[in-house]
Amino acid sequence: MRCVSMWEPWAWCIFRAGKLVENRPWKLPLGAIVIQAAKRYDESGARYLRQVMGIAVPEARELVMGALVGVVRVVGHTRESGSPWAQPDCWHNLLADPQEFPRRIPWRGRQGVFWVPICETCGAVPETMLLTMPEAERAGWVYAARQWRCQACGAV
Ligand SMILES: [Zn+2]
């Protein structure tokens, strides 16, 4: 499945605070995409979320960062979303159906849209992904994910 990285606590907000707009200078591909929480925490963003939007976002130490958080669907793009989450002068990628994983899966982020071996057809998460990052890299998972075949349903 495709994956995109974002700083915390913004990734948390998609799954816990109804953030259904992702602001980017570019459009995300339509369809299911995994959200990876980067190891970076946006302190000024967190202050804005608490003070202006009134959302009790967690502190960095309360979050597992450098990890896959869940799946969401990109259902459209506009530059004129009226959502309180929309920021000016960028693409508003419209999201739907956020589904948080039962627990965060440690995984390294990359620039842009990248691939992780989570099945787009059945949602299976291979046991291999529950390895530590160095183990997963040795097993070839991180960079071979594009060619991965699901062991649960056989989808490529
Ligand atoms: Zn599958």
Identify the CATH number of the domain in which residue 88 sits: 2.30.130.30
Beta-bridge partner residues of 71 = 34, 99
- Domain of residue 34, residue span: 2-147
Domain membership flag for residue 156 = no
User: In this model, does residue 156 exceed pLDDT 90?
Assistant: no
User: In this model, does residue 77 exceed pLDDT 70?
Assistant: yes
Domain membership flag for residue 19 = yes
Domain membership flag for residue 40 = yes
User: In this model, does residue 143 exceed pLDDT 60?
Assistant: no
User: In this model, does residue 75 exceed pLDDT 60?
Assistant: yes
Residue 118's pLDDT is what?
A: 85
130 C-alpha to center of ligand 1: Å?
Answer: 17
Q: State residue 58 phi and psi, 5-degree precision.
A: -70, 160
**What 3-state DSSP class applies to 92?**
strand
Residue 134's pLDDT is what?
A: 65
Specify whether the CB–CB gap between 96 and 76 falls below 8 A.
no
User: In this model, does residue 146 exceed pLDDT 60?
Assistant: no
Residue 150's pLDDT is what?
A: 74
Residue 135's nearest CA partner among 100, 101, 105, 102 is 105
134 C-alpha to center of ligand 1: Å?
Answer: 24
61 C-alpha to center of ligand 1: Å?
Answer: 34
Question: What's the DSSP call for residue 129?
Answer: G
147 C-alpha to center of ligand 1: Å?
Answer: 13
More confident residue, 27 or 140: 27
Report the C-alpha gap between 42 and 7 in whole angstroms: 6
How many domains does the structure of the chain reveal? Answer: 1
Domain membership flag for residue 76 = yes
- Of 59-68, 90-99, 111-120, 126-135, least confident by mean pLDDT is 126-135
53 C-alpha to center of ligand 1: Å?
Answer: 38
pLDDT digits (tens, 9 = 90+) for 126-140: 666 655 656 666 665
User: In this model, does residue 114 exceed pLDDT 90?
Assistant: no
129 C-alpha to center of ligand 1: Å?
Answer: 14
Specify whether the CB–CB gap between 107 and 70 falls below 8 A.
no
Q: Work out the average pLDDT over 27-49.
A: 96
Domain membership flag for residue 111 = yes
29 C-alpha to center of ligand 1: Å?
Answer: 20
More confident residue, 116 or 65: 65
116 C-alpha to center of ligand 1: Å?
Answer: 13
Report the C-alpha gap between 122 and 38 in whole angstroms: 25
Domain membership flag for residue 155 = no
Residue 145's pLDDT is what?
A: 54
* Residue ranges near ligand 1 (ion) with Cβ within 5 Å: 119, 121-122, 124, 150, 152-153, 155
